[in-house]
Amino acid sequence: MNKTIIAIALLVMVTLAGCVEDKMPVVNDLPKPVVNSAEVADYTITAQPVDNTTVTATTPAKDRTWISPGKVSIGNYYSGATADWTMTIHNGKPISAQFAVSYRKPDYTTDGYAMPSTSAQDWVIIADTTPLLKPYETREVKVTLQIPAKAKVTTPKWEYWISVIDNSQKGNVTTELCSRWLVTMR
């Protein structure tokens, strides 16, 4: 009841003050978005943050479940190479949560990229597919793309997703967070 009254009072104050969203005070508990790139062997891996959303004072980052990066680009890749990257998963709940981390065929692809071949799911290795995170814990999970040397990849640019689902969710609706992995072959 008190939270509802406070929320209504804040809404009235903001409306009366004529504030717009971009003038509201901002609290950003998330690490600053940084585009990371690393040279690995003779191909390149680049990762981008999941989003550039601003976290407001009413939605602290520790109270949201999130993953990062949102997109990983692997360029100049070839069969026989191994590319490793670390995904970060944050449990935004006040209780422990069991997550499911898995390879996922995308629902759609980025312009210029194709759906992965059926063999692609065998090339993706996830170090911990069922991490149990304590309340508000953040953990890194290693994801490896390892295409066998004799594998023939017929599509020069293809995309797959890494899915993260909180299995402690209740009800009929389940939220799935996905990181997009864009692969460009030589």
Judged by DSSP in three states, 147 sits in: coil
Tens of pLDDT along the chain (186 residues) come to: 555 444 454 444 434 343 333 333 333 343 332 333 443 444 556 655 444 444 444 444 788 899 999 999 999 999 999 999 999 999 999 999 999 999 999 999 999 999 999 999 999 999 999 999 999 999 999 999 999 999 988 899 999 999 999 998 888 888 999 999 999 998
Instruction: Give the integer Cα–Cα distance in Å for 72 and 45.
Output: 7
Residue 140 bridge partners (DSSP)? 88
pLDDT value of residue 143: 96
Strands (E), the chain: 36-40, 43-48, 66-68, 71-77, 82-90, 97-104, 124-126, 132-133, 138-146, 157-166, 176-185
88 closest CA partner among 41, 42, 34, 7 = 34
Per the domain annotation, does 19 fall within a domain? no
Per the domain annotation, does 15 fall within a domain? no
Per the domain annotation, does 2 fall within a domain? no
Per the domain annotation, does 11 fall within a domain? no
Distances (CA, A) of 94 to 3, 6, 65: 18, 22, 11
**Paired tokens of 150:** 């004799």
Residue 114 bridge partners (DSSP)? 158
Contact present, 134 and 65 (Cβ < 8 Å): no
Per the domain annotation, does 10 fall within a domain? no
CA dihedral 99, 101, 106, 112 (to 10 degrees): 120
Q: What is the total count of domains within the chain?
A: 1
pTM (two decimals) = 0.69
Instruction: Give the integer Cα–Cα distance in Å for 54 and 110.
Output: 24
- Output the domain CATH number for residue 156: 2.60.40.10
Per the domain annotation, does 70 fall within a domain? yes
* Chain-centroid distance, C-alpha 75: 19
141 closest CA partner among 113, 164, 110 = 164
Number of neighbouring beta carbons within 10 Å of residue 11: 10
**Residue-range definition of the domain harbouring residue 142:** 26-185
Contact present, 84 and 140 (Cβ < 8 Å): no
pLDDT value of residue 60: 45
Per the domain annotation, does 97 fall within a domain? yes
